[in-house]
C-alpha cells in the first residue's frame, strides 16, 4: 500500500478524528475541534483521498502553491473550506481573498487594511484570525503578545475585518501547553471564541487548552 493510497488516508483521518474526540471528551461540555488538514507541498492526487473520506477543511501556507491545485478541487467540491495558514505578503492579498475562505495570518496593520479593501472590492467578507507570535520569536510571523488586544480592536473597528479568533505556533523547543493557555487568555480578553492552535505533535494538548481548530499535516499525509 503506498503512502497516499486512499485506504491509508482514510485510516489516518479516522484515527486523528478519534484522537480529537477523545481529547474533547476530557473537557465537560466541549465540542470537538475542527480539523484543518494541512496539505502544503502535497498535490491534488494526495489530497483527493482525504476529500473522498469526508474531510472538508484544508490549510495551505502559500498563495501561489494553492493556486496551482485548489481551483479545480474547489470546483469539483464546492463545500470545501480553504484556510490560508501561512504568512501573507500584501502583494498577494487580492489572490488570497479570491481563492481562500478563511485567512488565519493577519498580523500587521498594513495587511489588515489591504485585506479589508480587497474583501470590499471582491465582495468576499472572509472570517479572519489574528496570528500571535506567542513565543516572541524573531523568525516567526505574528503580532506581539503585548499588542494583540489593541490590534484585534483596530482590525474590527478601524478596518472592518471579521476577526473570529486567534492563531499561534508555539516554540518548537518548549512544552506547548503554557503558550496555548496564554493564547486562550488573550482570546478571552479580546472577546474572541475561536482558537486555531495545535499541530500534528501537540493538537491534543491544544484541545485541552481550548483549541476550537487544529491544523494537522504530517499525521495525515506522512512526512514531507
> Alpha helices, DSSP H only, in 131-213?
148-157, 177-189, 203-208
Can you give the pLDDT at residue 7?
63
At 83-140, the pLDDT tens digits run: 999 999 999 999 999 999 999 999 999 999 999 999 999 999 999 999 999 999 999 9
At 35-82, the pLDDT tens digits run: 999 999 999 999 999 999 999 999 999 999 999 999 999 999 999 999
For 48-64, the DSSP string reads HHHHHTT--EEEES-HH
Task: Provide, rounded to the nearest whole percent, the portion of the chain with pLDDT above 70.
Answer: 96
Nearest CA among 161, 170, 216, 221 for reference residue 190: 161
Please say whether the beta carbons of 33 and 58 come within 8 A: no
At 148-174, the pLDDT tens digits run: 999 999 999 999 999 999 999 999 999
At 15-38, the pLDDT tens digits run: 999 999 999 999 988 889 999 999
Q: Which helix (H) or strand (E) holds 34?
A: strand 34-38
Can you give the pLDDT at residue 31?
86
Report d(CA 74, CA 119) in Å as an integer.
19
pLDDT class of 9 with cuts at 50, 70, 90: confident
Residue 2 has pLDDT above 70, yes or no: no
To 10 degrees, the CA torsion angle through 162, 38, 79, 72? 110
CA–CA distance from 186 to each of 13, 46, 124, 155 (Å)? 31, 36, 27, 15
Amino acid at each position: 500500500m503506498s503512502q497516499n493510497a486512499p485506504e491509508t488516508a482514510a485510516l489516518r483521518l479516522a484515527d486523528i478524528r478519534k484522537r480529537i474526540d477523545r481529547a474533547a471528551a476530557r473537557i465537560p461540555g466541549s465540542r470537538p475541534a475542527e480539523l484543518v488538514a494541512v496539505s502544503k507541498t502535497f498535490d491534488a492526487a494526495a489530497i483527493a483521498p482525504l476529500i473522498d473520506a469526508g474531510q472538508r477543511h484544508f490549510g495551505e501556507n502559500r498563495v501561489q502553491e494553492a493556486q496551482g491545485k485548489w481551483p479545480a478541487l474547489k470546483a469539483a467540491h464546492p463545500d470545501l473550506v480553504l484556510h490560508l495558514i501561512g504568512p501573507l505578503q500584501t502583494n498577494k492579498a487580492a489572490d488570497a481573498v479570491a481563492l481562500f475562505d478563511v485567512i488565519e495570518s493577519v498580523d500587521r496593520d498594513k495587511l489588515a487594511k489591504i485585506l479589508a479593501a480587497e474583501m470590499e472590492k471582491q465582495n468576499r467578507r472572509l472570517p479572519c484570525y489574528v496570528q500571535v507570535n506567542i513565543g516572541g520569536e524573531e523568525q516567526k510571523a505574528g503580532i506581539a503578545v503585548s499588542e494583540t488586544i489593541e490590534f484585534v480592536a483596530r482590525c474590527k473597528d478601524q478596518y472592518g475585518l471579521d476577526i473570529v479568533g486567534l492563531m499561534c505556533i508555539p516554540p518548537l523547543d518548549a512544552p506547548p501547553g503554557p503558550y496555548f493557555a496564554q493564547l486562550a487568555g488573550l482570546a478571552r480578553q479580546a472577546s474572541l471564541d475561536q482558537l486555531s492552535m495545535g499541530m500534528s505533535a501537540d493538537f491534543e494538548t491544544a484541545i485541552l487548552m481550548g483549541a476550537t481548530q487544529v491544523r494537522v499535516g504530517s499525521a495525515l499525509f506522512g512526512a514531507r
